[in-house]
Amino acid sequence: MSKDIRPDEIPLSAPSSVPFPAEEFEAVEPPTSFLKDVWQAYRNNRMALGGALGVALLVFMAVFAPLLTPYGPFDIDLDVMTLPPSAAHWLGTDQFGRDLLTRILYGSRISLVIGIVPTLLSMAIGTTLGLVGGWYGGKIDYAIMRLADIVLAFPSVLLAMVVMYTLGASLFNLFIALAVVGWAGTSRVVRSQVISLREKEFVEACRAMGVKTPVILFRHILPNCLPSLIVLFTLGIPGAILSEASLSFLGVGAQPPTPSWGLIIVSGKEFLFSAPWIAIAPGVFILLTVLAFNFLGDGLRDAFDPYMKP
């Protein structure tokens, strides 16, 4: 007996000469793909499914906003100022007689854009820097990581405020501010994955075959980071939506008359006593959106994690 066989592999009873009956092989499940496994795990998670449904509803609202309401988001009607919720105006009207539900429906477009664009931007920056730093190591890596330390040392709202002060308040500048604040976390995650991946055999094989470094990084290493990037992306969206609301509240985010949810709450602040629905309704939508994306992200993280599988 060779020394390579571990004790638990030594057949205890069945003599090796007797062939196994065929049905024992049929009972084994067919091999599944990674994505199938992920879906299997995701499907069993009720919270995650709820989150996905919520996100789907949000996208539906954003895409079909004009079809879902007879009003326009900027239609001022001074006859119906600050009306409470009614059959004609399901969530009431604001101080200019604009239909609140309409503004919230159109606002879902802005919230989606504000959730997705800065998150993509900050992840593009963070991923590139993380790939470069993790791959090359040495001084480049040190410089990138110290820069990340510095950005992470700032309380994020304050840093975003400073960037908005410098650039001026607008929706586009908000994207930049949130990206400036957000890239550092991504770069740390990607870097740590690259450092472990670059020692793997498939990377060694690429190098031996003379594959160029950018190709190795983007075609071979990046796809292996994708699960964590997808999770970071999904969990980054609610963060960006909340930051937008806060910055708009402080006057350095989106500017009126943009129907951003944060801004609608701000405008409702003055009517909190007489028309509380203006401030309350958009907040409920923010809360539900953030919860939906958090459930989606948590569900994806658990589904991607091979150790969580039942």
Partner 1 sequence: MKKFILQRLIVSIPVLVGVTFLLFWLLNVVPGDPVALMMKEHISVDVVERVRQQMHLDDPAWVRYLRFLWGAVRGDLGESYKLKRPVADLILNAFPNTFLLAVAAALFAWIVGIPAGIVSAVRKYSLSDHFFMGFSLMGVSMPVFWSALLFQYLFAVKLGWLPVAGFNSWKCLVMPAVVLGWSSAGIVARLTRSSLLEVMRCDYIRTARAKGLLGVAVILRHGLKNAMLPVVTVMAIQVASLLAGAVITESVFNIPGVGRIAVGAIQARDMPLLQGAVLFETVLVIFGNLAADTLYAWLDPRIKFD
Contacts with partner 1 by CB under 8 A lie at 146-147, 149-151, 153-155, 157-159, 161-166, 238, 242, 245-246, 249-252, 262, 265, 268-269, 272-273, 276, 279-280, 283, 286-287, 290-291, 294
- Calpha distance 238→42 (Å, rounded): 20
Q: Which is nearer to partner 1, 149 or 204 (CB)?
A: 149
Q: Which is nearer to partner 1, 145 or 203 (CB)?
A: 145
Q: Which is nearer to partner 1, 90 or 249 (CB)?
A: 249
Query: Contact, 239 vs 294, CB < 8 A?
Result: no
Q: Torsion-angle region of residue 236: left (phi > 0), alpha (psi -120 to 50) or beta?
A: alpha
- Calpha distance 150→279 (Å, rounded): 36
Distance of closest approach, residue 237 Cβ to partner 1, in angstroms: 12
Q: Which is nearer to partner 1, 120 or 167 (CB)?
A: 167
- DSSP alpha helices (H): ranges in 100-200? 100-136, 138-153, 156-167, 171-197
Distance of closest approach, residue 1 Cβ to partner 1, in angstroms: 37
Neighbours of 216 (CB within 10 A): 20
Residue-level length of the chain: 310
Distance of closest approach, residue 291 Cβ to partner 1, in angstroms: 5
Distance of closest approach, residue 73 Cβ to partner 1, in angstroms: 20
Q: Which is nearer to partner 1, 227 or 239 (CB)?
A: 239
Distance of closest approach, residue 280 Cβ to partner 1, in angstroms: 7
Whether residue 155 has a cis bond before it, omega within 30° of 0? no
Q: Which is nearer to partner 1, 95 or 224 (CB)?
A: 95
Q: Name the burial class of residue 14, with classes exposed (0-12), middle (13-18) and buried (19+) by CB atoms within 10 angstroms of its CB.
A: exposed
List the helix and strand counts (H, then E) for the chain: 13, 0
